[in-house]
Chain A
């Protein structure tokens, strides 16, 4: 796959989330998991300016990579948007706010402590419309540590920004951070239509709180994805949970499952050689032969054609993942 003009890449960053959207006028990064993967990817694609960074919520596996992007002297950043998280109190969260504050003082970027439904359309850079489906202003206003109207506890995950990308009016992907049942209910109670062909599954396929089965059923009804991506790492075998895969397949026939890395659930050993089916872009697991789907790419000239190719990926799974959850 040659580097196309416009693309959405869901990066293999190990255990964490990160997506890069390159459109006609600019680049948007959605979440930045820890490590060097995002910088590697941007360098590989000669991207020296990121117009907008949207951070779904304040968990380390979604914000850990921002520090090096801010510190980098090779990439400039226009704007960073995130929701406040007064309950977080972590040093990492403070590190991020510190770096953002410093950068804003130097007038290097704009920093907004708000990412809610009304912000849809503000971040568009060309043909892709960036919709913020959640959280509502009400939920963001209540904030983590508080409760929703039903008295249920609000966490960082409840406040995850749920982001849908539409190419020329047609949904192509849904990135819901680590949204939990409370956040999902907030979205659905507003009667929003939220379907998308590709879903990056929240919380890496772990438990999202509440009734597990009901949550997955709601996700499947609300988003109706034909492809579900799990941003996971080899060495973290708890994600995705086998029951999540099982319930997804019960609810959506023929759903395609793509994990970024090959977990121990699926293969006790890594492949003997670097797999050939991967998209020809940076993936964290490539060097250690830990990739399953690797970095996933949708090109805007043919958004139905997802990399890695389904048939080639299936061949890889059949030969290298003897206990594959998606087999």
Chain B
């Protein structure tokens, strides 16, 4: 069997995780969807080489975030998944995560359409996840994922941690969202001062702060 979404057909799904048991678990749900799991046992090469090698092994990808464990990889799953989706190769990130992980992932969330937790990983969410990846690759966003240019106000800065907090008044004026300084283009970093306002593209339909991403930063 295969899964056809728009003009794309998915037969084989590459499963990337450093843990063999987890890979197997993820594979079962892929089989339940009528697809063929292909297992990446690592260690992985550089990101560029991995992209090239993996894309020839399957039609889509499911990947864990924590790949650096035991030298399985030199990069984490968010980089891999975002890179694949940039290339319009459907890729899902499935992982447990902390608040810090979310901040790290935020700069790549524009190209991580679907972030699943293991508890919500099942054939239906996999199918919906791949559908979303393919639609976004074609420029069609769900309302919760669509980027809109809006005002962003800097709330506070944690120089030591290398991050700052922003408020997006048009989303929720009471919620501070943590962003890494490195996520802002170099020429704009001098503008990252408390109370400073900038413009950025933000998915204003997001339901929760962990879903939010920022791109296309602009000084005012």
Contact = CB atoms under 8 A, between A and B. Distances in A.
Instruction: Decide if A and B are genuine partners.
Output: yes
Interface of A: 34-37, 39-40, 60, 64-68, 70-73, 90-92, 95-96, 98-99, 102, 282, 284, 287-288
9 nearest CB pairs, A to B: A36-B204, A68-B150, A67-B170, A92-B173, A36-B205, A67-B151, A68-B170, A95-B169, A71-B149
B60 to A, nearest CB: 23
Interface of B: 142-144, 146, 148-151, 153, 167, 169-174, 197, 199, 203-205, 207, 220
Given A34-B170, A35-B171, A35-B204, A71 B151 contact: yes
A284 B150 contact: no
A166 to B, nearest CB: 31
Contacts of B148: 36, 39, 68, 71-72
A73 B220 CA distance: 15
A287 B150 CA distance: 22
Contacts of B174: 60
B143 A40 contact: yes
A71 B142 contact: no
Given A64-B169, A64-B173, A98-B197, A35 B205 contact: yes
A287 B146 CA distance: 13
Contact of B220 (A64, A68, A102): A102
B149 A68 contact: yes
B202 to A, nearest CB: 8
B151 A95 contact: yes
Nearest to B146: A36
A118 B199 CA distance: 36
Given A64-B170, A64-B171, 20 more contacts: A34-B169, A35-B170, A35-B171, A36-B146, A36-B204, A39-B204, A40-B143, A40-B146, A40-B205, A60-B173, A60-B174, A64-B172, A67-B150, A70-B151, A91-B167, A92-B173, A95-B153, A95-B197, A98-B197, A284-B205
